[in-house]
Amino acid sequence: MKISELASKTGLKAISESVDKIIEGVYISDMASDIITNAKANVLLITLQTHKTLIAAANLIDVSAIAFVKGKRPGQDVIELADRVGIALYSTEDDTWTLASKLAKLGIQ
Amino acid sequence: MGTCNHKWQMTDIIYGYLVVQGCPRCGDRASFFSNEPAAPIEEYMEGDHFWAHLGSSQATKFNLKCTECHEIVHLDDLVGLMMSTCEEPQCYVANIAKSEGKMTSVYVALCSDSTHSSGKCISTKGIDSLNEYFNQNIKTPGKKILVVPCNKCCSIDMCKGIVIADVGLTEIY
């Protein structure tokens, strides 16, 4: 499923414009060291963390998009870095569990 | 032998701390990986060095294993990876990033001898296998990861980047 379609079905709000990539799965983590050892390419990363380190880790793995939960929003420097490496950023007021449940109902796990 | 089209996967993954230390006598800096429950902060003597704790962050360490030929590349000398954002005109890393173009992200493989006083850095085999591993998993057309050893940086102080480590997650401010 494309990110744009997924976003409209789950209420994710785009923080930045980016390539409308395909999402093949979901990974939930707040730790960069965990992301580089366990996440896979083309996943949607769900996280609370808004630090630049997360973008550096996600880019290395070729994560498609990042969804910040609980209304978290990264700084402009983080948005610019994500834009530069082609990672789409989204935000939601949902908590991790609620967003993950919505994605599971759509068959994305 | 030597003809395998390697398919690397991470193996021997351990989680711990990247500990950075400095010697106030000579200005050398070094780092090491610790898998102790808490990051060691003790100062200690090592030859002429007096190593003082400068900081630590949660990080991970791993080796790479080929699922085809079962070769294992030990990355004992690798203590971390840094996404380069350096723009210093005299820096090799900055220049190679510029010449590679927008679709390439350059990552610096950090060795334990930050100031390279020993003359050693990450092995060529280690760098090659890291490049193969990260690029084999990329699905975005045209995207490339380029891993270079940290002895290519212009300076430990001036070369800018984002170290992949979880800084501050064990602290409350």
For chain A, what are the domain ranges?
3-105
Query: pLDDT tens digits, residue range A21-42?
Result: 999 999 999 999 999 999 999 9
- Which of B107, B138, B166 has the CB atom closest to A33's CB atom? B166
Q: In the predicted model, what is the mean pLDDT of residues A51-64?
A: 96
Residue B1's pLDDT band (boundaries 50, 70, 90)?
low
Q: Once rounded to an integer, what is the mean pLDDT over residues B129-137?
A: 96
A21 CB neighbours in chain B (<8 A) are 140
Task: Find the DSSP H helices in chain B.
Answer: 92-100, 124-136
**Band (B170; pLDDT cuts 50, 70, 90):** low
Closest CB to B105 among A34, A42, A85: A85
Distance from CA of B164 to the nearest CA of A (A): 6
Cα–Cα–Cα angle for A50, B105, B57, rounded to 5 degrees: 45
- pLDDT value at A8 more than 60: yes
Q: Residue B173: pLDDT above 60?
A: no
Q: What is the mean pLDDT of chain B?
A: 90
Considering only the beta carbons, identify the residue of B143, B145, B164 that sits closest to A53: B164
* CA A14, chain centre distance (Å): 10
CB-facing half-sphere around the CA of A34: CA atoms within 13 A: 11
Task: Tell which residue, B147, B83, B144, B149, has the closest CA to residue B121.
Answer: B149
pLDDT in tens, A80-107: 999 999 999 999 999 999 999 999 999 9
Mark yes or no for CB contact B81/A61 under 8 Å: no
Structure token pair of residue B161: 């980047």
| Mean pLDDT for the stretch of residues B102-120 | 89
Contact with chain B for residue A77, Cβ under 8 A? no
Q: Which residues contact B70 (CB under 8 A, 6 or more apart)?
A: none
* Closest by Cα among B72, B102, B83 to B148: B83
Q: Which CATH architecture has domain A3-105?
A: 3-Layer(aba) Sandwich (3.40)
User: Residues in chain A, how many?
Assistant: 109
Query: What pLDDT band is residue B157 in, cutting at 50, 70 and 90?
Result: confident
Instruction: Give me B146's structure tokens.
Output: 């380029």
Q: Are strands A88-91 and A13-14 parallel, antiparallel or unpaired?
A: antiparallel
pTM for this predicted structure: 0.90
Q: Does A52 touch chain B (CB under 8 A)?
A: yes
Check CB contact under 8 Å for B58 and A60.
Answer: no
pLDDT score, position B139 = 95
Average pLDDT over residues B1-22: 89
Compute the count of residue pairs across chains A and B with CB atoms less than 8 Å apart: 68
- Cα separation, B112 vs B117, in Å, equals 11
- In B36-166, which ranges are continuous DSSP H helix? 92-100, 124-136
**Whether B164 and A84 lie within 8 Å, measured CB to CB:** no
pLDDT of res. A42: 96
- Cα separation, A55 vs A74, in Å, equals 11
Residues of A in contact with B83 (CB under 8 A): 55-56, 59-60
Strands B72-73 and B49-66, bridge-based pairing: antiparallel
pLDDT tens-digit series, residues B45-76: 999 999 999 988 888 899 999 999 999 999 99
Helix (H) or strand (E) holding A86: none
pLDDT band at A65 (very low <50, low <70, confident <90, very high): very high
Both tokens of B69, joined, read 């030929």
Percent of chain B past pLDDT 90, that is, above it, reads 62
ipTM greater than 0.90: yes
